[in-house]
Amino acid sequence: MSTSSAPVHAVRAPRGEGIARGRPTVGRFFRSELGMVFGRRRNLALLLVLSAVPVLIGLAIKLSSSPGAGEGPQFIDRIAGNGLFLSLTAMIVVLPLFLPLAVAVVAGDAVAGEASLGTLRYLLVVPVRRGRLLLVKYAAVLAFCLVAVLLVAAAGALTGLTLFPVGPVTLLSGSTIPLAEAMARMLMVAGYVGMSMAGLAAIGLLMSTLTEVPIGAMAATLTLSIASQVLDSIPQVAAIHPWLFSHRWLAFGDLLRQPVPTHELALGIGTQVAYVALFLALAWNRLDAKDVSC
């Protein structure tokens, strides 16, 4: 989203074209939205910071006199022996704050940014239903989440390959798998982490429909993410832990066992689906009632 987005949106589909050819119109919306999300320097800076995390961790361990010390994030003591664990450690490091911050920025800006610049009304003049517009915005945010996670995984794998030995991986269950299978599991971990951001992205999109100040939507989304993680760490409220969207963010550790226990992974995905359904419905209700005629 930029100051030049009004004319872009305005000419996406001439009057009546979206009615005759609905799918191409939505496709053009989605391509345009992706261009704006990945074309903003702020978002590119977020991707750069995320991809720099595994590089910094790898350099710190390589230069350390005691790389095998048993302190720090999970898997960090295994990196010196096998560089593939750098990707996993980086995932654990970015999950509490850096990745939610990136998601909050992109999702919070999705609708509020358009409204603040006055371009939202141009979007809604195009004969595409507001629900479809909301889904396009959400799909673009999810694409950003997936790209961000894949960048972290790729930067971790490349840095680990450059700085440390890489070979067959010993899983948490004690069995050893070949390098090719280990790489496939790393991709599954990245996919799960990306899906774990789906609920937060939906929350951010709802916040974005409630205000015309993007920074407010971003701050509210990030605050809810931090609040969920704080509540998840308090034993006295353990009864609500399974219902928190952040509760199973780290369940990807089950992908490093043989055989893979799927119970917690399935619950984690199910939780995200429930949050997405609820908050997208609330966002649609808010956007459908939003007056942007002036």
pLDDT digits (tens, 9 = 90+) for 35-79: 999 999 999 999 999 999 999 999 999 998 665 555 667 788 889
User: Residue 68 has what pLDDT?
Assistant: 53
Asked if residue 159 belongs to a domain, the reply is yes
Q: Poorest-confidence range of 2-11, 81-90, 252-261, 276-285?
A: 2-11
Label residue 289 by pLDDT band (50, 70, 90). confident
Tally the domains of the chain: 1
What is the overall mean pLDDT for the chain? 86
Between CA 190 and CA 143 the distance in angstroms is 13
pLDDT value of residue 118: 67
CA angle 112, 118, 121 (to 5 degrees): 90
98: in domain:
yes
Of 183 and 20, more confident: 183
CA-closest candidate to residue 137, choices 252, 248, 13, 279: 279
86-100, 107-121, 138-152: lowest mean pLDDT where?
A: 107-121
Residue 188 lies in a domain: yes
Question: Could you tell me the pLDDT band of residue 4, with boundaries at 50, 70 and 90?
Answer: very low
Q: Is residue 293 domain-resident? A: no
Range of the domain at 254: 5-288
pLDDT average, residue stretch 173-200: 94
Question: Between vectors from CA 183 to CA 181 and to CA 184, what angle results, nearest 5°?
Answer: 65
Instruction: Look at residue 107 and tell me if it is in a domain.
Output: yes
CA end-to-end span of the chain? 20
Strands 176-177 and 169-170: antiparallel
What is the number of other CB atoms lying within 10 angstroms of the CB of residue 288?
12
Asked whether residue 294 is domain-assigned, the answer is: no
Q: How confident is the model at residue 185 (pLDDT cuts 50, 70, 90)?
A: very high
Residue 197 DSSP SS3: coil
Q: Is the peptide bond before 7 cis (omega within 30 degrees of 0)?
A: no
pLDDT at 288: 78
Predicted pLDDT at 22: 44
Region 270-277: what's the mean pLDDT?
97
